[in-house]
Amino acid sequence: MTEQPSGVIHDIGYRKYDGPRLGRARVTRALYAHSLRGAYGLGRSARAKVLPMLLLGVMALPAFIIAVITNVTSDITGGLPLPYSRYVMVTMPILAIFLAAQAPASLSRDLRFKTVPLYFSRPMERSDYVLAKYGALATAVFLLLTLPLLIMYVGALLAELPAGEQTGDLLLALLGAAVFAVVFAGIGLVIASLTPRRGFGVAAIITVLALSFAAVSALQGIIRYEVGDADLAGWLGLLSPATLVDGFQTWVLDASSSSVAPPPGAAGGVVYVLVTFAVIGACWALLNLRYRKVAVS
Amino acid sequence: MNGTVVRLTYRALLGGRRAWLLLLMSVVLLAMAVLLRLTVGVDHQVTADFLGAVSVAALVPLFGLIVGTGVIGPEIDDGSIVYLLSKPISRPRIILSKLAVAATGTVLFAAVPTFVAGLVMSGTADRIALGFGVAALVASVAYSAIFLLLSVVTRHAVVYGLAYALIWEGLLGSFVPGARTLSVQQWSLSLTEAITTRDLVSSDVRLAVAGVLLAVVIVGATWYAGQRLRVLSLAGEE
């Protein structure tokens, strides 16, 4: 022991923090990393890991099967049985469930346990919080969509399909997946931010995503095949997030469409692109608006 | 059943703005039915396709999920279920009361609009509206019972319920025909098939089998939910 502090009863050894203060950017980055890990249950309890990991596995399983089929039948067909760009639409329910489960998980606890005001008492701005959460969920969804595409890509390369063509297709599909991720994460977070109760958030998100997709697809099918109006059916695709982004990647990235009706003509394509960006912008604006004022009571 | 539990559950489920949000979904269904009637006219195949795809395959399961988990899930989630459990009401009776509210809610908000949408699109012709109405009615009760059980068993009831409704009934059902024999959707569609007088709907399950399975699922799920509520343990927040 060195010298004892003398004559002081209350000095119990607390020290001030005198290290470097890292500032806004680092706070945002830390929250981003924390939220991204949280979306897959990393750093949380084992029970929280079950669901996201299960969904990741379920998401990857069809891709693995496709990769195996490609290798077995490559002499006959000479291609993947399912194009990369259609994979997201085929597995849409899994994506919807992942989003419905993880978007409220990312926001609702902060609201429910009133930790949001604590975040904002730090150098962090409102928009930093939104940026970190939005970025983290979009990245998490993007990773969920990327894994199966990579599995298919590896399968295609092992089957000795032309590498250049496959790489090009994969990159375009990844770009489409990124748009899917940003749009869906935005919609999920906007809904999730409105309620501190996880259950309501989950139900609301799935209602918006699944019901709008089912309703729009059914209407599109009826109008296209029973009425024979392919243009009107194409315009209807704007009304649900899944068909919207599918139309976007059909028109911009030349992907093969999975919707009942693709965007009608060039004007339709431009409108799809504009609406897609408008949705992303609106989600960002609404989230910022939501966090301008967070009740402490 | 217990009147007080029913009343409290009803208020928690439909009080305030929530009833309007739920009603909005029913109104969307009716609006689409009117729209189709105006653009397509009367076409019974369209009616069957529309009600089958939007109502029986999407609206009814989603409503059953939201309402079935909504009657007890939030209470278990925030722990206030202990105040109910500490009252001298038997657990199966609590479940029965909650199920009554859930089933009534789903029927009112999903099955009745389905019937009305059928009437709007096809009138009373060939008993199409009746067929889908009955199917939606039975499916509403079955989904309510299943998802009520699920929310007593697990805290992630909504998510697992979704996995059943979307992945099992939707995704797997369209690729693997065997999965269809074990789906509430197909069981209720076999009722539609039996009631409508024209060949518009086809179900993979025979009527007798479907009826027995539906009854077993509804009674079994309700009974088991009562048993599980007797041994419910309140987990802490993750």
Tens digits of per-residue pLDDT, A220-230?
A: 888 888 777 88
CB contacts, 8 Å: A44 with chain B? 238
Kindly state whether residue B111 falls inside one of the protein's structural domains: yes
Given the structure tokens 């399909």, which residue do they identify?
A: A161
pLDDT value at position A274?
A: 94
Distance CA A158, CA B48 (A): 46
| Burial degree of A295 (CB within 10 A; 0-12, 13-18, 19+) | exposed
A226 vs B contacts (CB less than 8 Å): 40, 43, 45-46
Whether the pLDDT of residue A4 is over 70: the answer is no
Is B236 a residue whose pLDDT tops 60? no
Count of beta carbons in the 10 Å neighbourhood of residue A69 = 16
Across the interface, whether the CB atoms of A96 and B162 are under 8 A apart is answered yes
Tell me, yes or no, whether B93 lies in a domain: yes
- The alpha carbon dihedral of B135, B137, B142, B146 has a sign of positive
> What is residue B150's predicted lDDT score, i.e. its pLDDT?
92
Residue whose C-alpha is closest to residue A271's, from A221, A236, A230, A219: A236
- pLDDT attached to residue B235: 61
Measured distance between the N- and C-terminal CA atoms of chain A, rounded to whole angstroms:
49
To the nearest whole percent, how much of chain A has pLDDT over 70? 95
Domain-wise residue ranges, chain A: 23-290
CB distance A257 to A247 below 8 Å: yes
Q: Could you give the CA distance from residue A11 to residue A224 in angstroms, rounded to a whole number?
A: 80
CA distances from A60 to A53, A145, A147, A149, B88 (A): 10, 9, 7, 8, 49
Nearest CB among B28, B54, B159 relative to A51 is that of: B159
Residue B217 domain-assigned (yes or no): yes
Please state, rounded to an integer, the average pLDDT across all residues of chain A. 87
pTM: 0.84
Tens-digit pLDDT profile for residues A55-64: 999 999 999 9
Q: Is residue B57 part of a domain?
A: yes
How far apart are the C-alpha atoms of A2 and A9, rounded to whole Å?
18
Q: Which of B36, B40, B55, B162 to mutate to test the interface with A (most CBs of A within 10 A)?
A: B162
> In angstroms, how far is the first alpha carbon of chain B from the final one?
33
Ranges A225-229, A245-249, A284-288, most confident = A284-288
Could you tell me if A42 and A49 are in contact, meaning their C-beta atoms sit under 8 angstroms apart? Answer: yes
Q: Which of A58, A210, A222 sits opposite B58 (nearest CB)?
A: A210
Tokens 């987990």 found at? B235
Q: What is the pLDDT of residues A18-59, one digit of tens each?
A: 888 888 899 999 999 999 999 999 988 888 888 899 999 999
Question: ipTM strictly over 0.85?
Answer: no
Shortest Cα distance, chain B CAs vs residue A288, angstroms: 24
Contact yes or no for A197 and B77 at CB 8 A: yes
Nearest residue to B128 (alpha-carbon basis) of B23, B56, B38: B56
How far apart (Å, rounded) are the C-alpha atoms in residues A284 and A263?
25
The percent of residues in chain B predicted with pLDDT above 70, rounded, is 98
For residue B167, list chain A residues with Cβ-Cβ distance below 8 A. Answer: 58, 93-94, 97
Task: Count how many domains chain B has.
Answer: 1
| Host domain of residue B85 | 3-230
CA of B35, closest CA in chain A: separation in Å?
Answer: 10
Give residue B134's pLDDT. 92
Assess if residue B236 is contained within a domain: no
In-domain check, residue B235: no
Cβ-defined contact of A210 to B166 (cutoff 8 Å): yes
Instruction: Please answer yes or no on whether A206 and B162 come within 8 Å at the CB atom.
Output: yes
Distance from CA of B169 to the nearest CA of A (A): 11
User: Coil, strand, or helix at residue B232?
Assistant: coil
- What pLDDT was estimated at residue A297? 47
Q: In this structure, are residues A288 and A127 in contact, taking their beta carbons and an 8 Å threshold?
A: yes
Rounded Cα gap, residues A188 and A190, in angstroms = 6
The answer to whether the CB atoms of A226 and B46 lie below 8 A apart is yes
Contacts A–B by Cβ distance under 8 A: 94
Interface test with A, best of B59, B158, B171 (most A CBs within 10 A): B158
Residues of chain B whose beta carbon is less than 8 angstroms from a beta carbon of chain A are: 25, 28-29, 32, 35-36, 39-40, 43, 45-46, 49-50, 53-54, 57-59, 62, 65-66, 69-70, 73-74, 77, 156, 158-159, 162-163, 166-167, 170-171, 238
Which one has a higher pLDDT value, A210 or A283? A283
Residue in chain B lying closest to A101 (CA): B159
Which is nearest to B165 in space by CA: B153, B157, B155? B157
Residue A221 distance to chain B (closest CA, Å): 9
* Chain A partners within 8 Å of B65 (Cβ): 203, 206
- Assess contact for B118 and B51: CB atoms under 8 A: yes
In order of A26, A93, B38, B76, the CA distances from A211 in angstroms are 39, 11, 22, 27
CA distance B159 to chain A (A): 6
Option in B49, B158, B170 nearest A202 (CB): B158
